């Protein structure tokens, strides 16, 4: 397929499709009260090694929006990276879901919030009293929009600041599986044990059809989540088809195996082309941002390779590897780049 444009363009994994077909037998209670629901919560609690509330959804934007509504009042502020999905790719959904909360961007290298800058921004807050929005939450993306991964030490440093100012920490884990594989730790260590209060748990990019979940670790934020889901239009009547996907996703580590493959393809590509391209960011998961001469980019396009040219940067392309990336396609891309 030579498609390196997005993991959203990858197909549904056959085991997840099988689960959908098997679930498509007869009748089952609607609106999340089917027999798979409790099983799913038990699976997530086992995976994370703690109590957690799981809210299945169909988009990551809804997960992020509901997380914002839970942590941040209309008069509150949420700190996030300028390039975060929350800030640039959700058409104001976090503001909409929260009833008007303000997003305050905190810049930083490699797609990560700069921790000292975050601290400084918070130190400087409060001087305008009720004239300014009340700091309420920090949202980080794991993997980041630059394809990098926050280390556990970085997550803990963010939590320390959050604790100092009484803020919630939300993780946008649209590519959480890819990050977890890179970190090489268990799911609990990468989240609540490192201070994450709420996680947008993505599965769609990594082999599901339209299955995401908001996972709440901190019971303080477990308030009326089902009503918030309903109001957002995400209370799916035939919810069993989301439940079964998430169960199949977790079964026998399918999700981690898929992410491992995607990350390995990105690494294979990076190590093979390191003398031929310049990388914008360290490659730590399944996305690679490369700077290439424009004529080389055009050549790759003529050869039928699909990828995004990055907005605003004519000579930058983004390559995304997925569970469905065929190694033969990665090798063809490597050959095309190294032969130029």
- Which residues contact ligand PLP by CB under 6 A? 59-61, 85, 141, 145, 172, 174, 204
CA distance 103 to 289: 26
CA distance 4 to 288: 10
Sign of the dihedral defined by the CA atoms of residues 129, 132, 136, 139, in that order = negative
- Shortest distance, CB of residue 232 to ligand PLP, whole angstroms? 12
- Shortest distance, CB of residue 221 to ligand PLP, whole angstroms? 19
List the end-to-end C-alpha distance of the chain, in Å, as a whole number.
Answer: 21
Q: Which residues of 264-286 are buried (b: 16+ CB within 10 A; e: fewer)?
A: bbbbbbbebbeeebeebbebbbb
- Nearer to ligand PLP by Cβ, of 59 and 71: the residue is 59
- Nearer to ligand PLP by Cβ, of 204 and 325: the residue is 204
- Shortest distance, CB of residue 208 to ligand PLP, whole angstroms? 11
CA distance 267 to 263: 6
- Nearer to ligand PLP by Cβ, of 28 and 206: the residue is 206
- Shortest distance, CB of residue 230 to ligand PLP, whole angstroms? 18
The pairing of beta strand 168-173 with beta strand 134-141: parallel
- Nearer to ligand PLP by Cβ, of 122 and 213: the residue is 213
Beta-strand (E) ranges in 152-251?
168-173, 198-202, 212-216
Structure tokens at 63: 């997960």
What angle is formed at CA 228 by the lines to CA 225 and CA 229, rounded to 5 degrees?
90
CA distance 247 to 154: 30
Burial of 45 per CB tally in 10 Å (0-12, 13-18, 19+)? middle
- Nearer to ligand PLP by Cβ, of 171 and 273: the residue is 171
CA distance 55 to 37: 10
Cis peptide before 326 (omega within 30 of 0): no
The pairing of beta strand 212-216 with beta strand 198-202: antiparallel
- Nearer to ligand PLP by Cβ, of 198 and 336: the residue is 198
- Shortest distance, CB of residue 91 to ligand PLP, whole angstroms? 10
- Shortest distance, CB of residue 64 to ligand PLP, whole angstroms? 6
- Shortest distance, CB of residue 186 to ligand PLP, whole angstroms? 22
Q: Which residue is nearest to ligand PLP (CB)?
A: 60
CA distance 73 to 100: 8
- Shortest distance, CB of residue 233 to ligand PLP, whole angstroms? 13
- Nearer to ligand PLP by Cβ, of 36 and 86: the residue is 86
- Nearer to ligand PLP by Cβ, of 204 and 206: the residue is 204
């Amino acid at each position: 397929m030579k498609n390196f444009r997005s993991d959203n363009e990858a197909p549904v994994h056959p085991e997840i499709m099988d689960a959908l077909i098997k679930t498509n037998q007869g009748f089952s209670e609607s609106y999340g009260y089917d027999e798979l629901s409790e099983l799913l919560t038990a699976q997530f609690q086992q995976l994370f090694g703690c109590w957690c509330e799981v809210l299945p959804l169909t988009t990551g934007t809804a997960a992020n929006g509901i997380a914002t509504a839970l942590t941040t009042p209309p008069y509150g502020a949420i700190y996030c990276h300028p390039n975060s999905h929350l800030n640039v790719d959700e058409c104001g959904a976090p503001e909409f879901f929260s009833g008007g909360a303000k997003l305050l961007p905190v810049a930083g290298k490699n797609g990560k919030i700069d921790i000292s800058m975050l601290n400084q921004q918070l130190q400087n807050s409060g001087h305008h009293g009720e004239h300014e929005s009340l700091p309420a939450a920090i949202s980080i993306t794991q993997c980041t929009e630059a394809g990098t991964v926050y280390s556990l030490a970085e997550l803990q440093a963010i939590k320390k600041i959050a604790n100092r100012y009484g803020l919630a920490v939300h993780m946008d884990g649209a590519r959480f599986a890819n990050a977890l594989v890179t970190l090489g730790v268990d799911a609990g260590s990468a989240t609540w044990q490192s201070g994450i209060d709420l996680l947008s748990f993505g599965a769609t990019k990594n082999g599901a059809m339209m299955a995401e979940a908001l996972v709440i670790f901190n019971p303080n934020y477990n308030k009326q989540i089902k009503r918030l889901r309903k109001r957002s239009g995400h209370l799916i009547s035939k919810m069993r088809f989301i439940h079964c996907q998430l169960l199949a996703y977790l079964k026998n580590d399918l999700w981690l195996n898929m992410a491992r493959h995607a990350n390995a393809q990105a690494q294979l590509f990076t190590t093979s082309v390191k003398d031929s391209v310049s990388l914008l960011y360290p490659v730590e998961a399944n996305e690679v941002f490369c700077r290439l001469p424009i004529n080389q980019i055009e050549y790759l396009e003529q050869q039928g390779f699909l990828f995004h040219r990055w907005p605003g940067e004519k000579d930058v392309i983004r390559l995304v590897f997925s569970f469905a990336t065929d190694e033969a396609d990665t090798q063809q891309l490597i050959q095309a780049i190294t032969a130029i």
